[in-house]
Amino acid sequence: MTNNDILKKLRIALELKDSDMIEIFELADFQISKPELSALFRKEGHKNYMECGDQILRRFLDGLIIRNRGRRDTGDPDR
Is the pLDDT confidence value at 6 over 90? yes
Query: Each residue of 31-50: pLDDT tens digit?
Result: 999 999 999 999 999 999 99
pLDDT classification of 54: cutoffs 50, 70, 90: very high
C-alpha torsion 24→32→78→66, nearest 10:
10
How much is the pLDDT for 76? 54
How much is the pLDDT for 47? 95
pTM: 0.85
**Helix (H) and strand (E) counts for the chain?**
4, 0
Domain boundaries, the chain: 3-69
How much is the pLDDT for 70? 85
> Looking at residue 27, what DSSP letter applies?
H
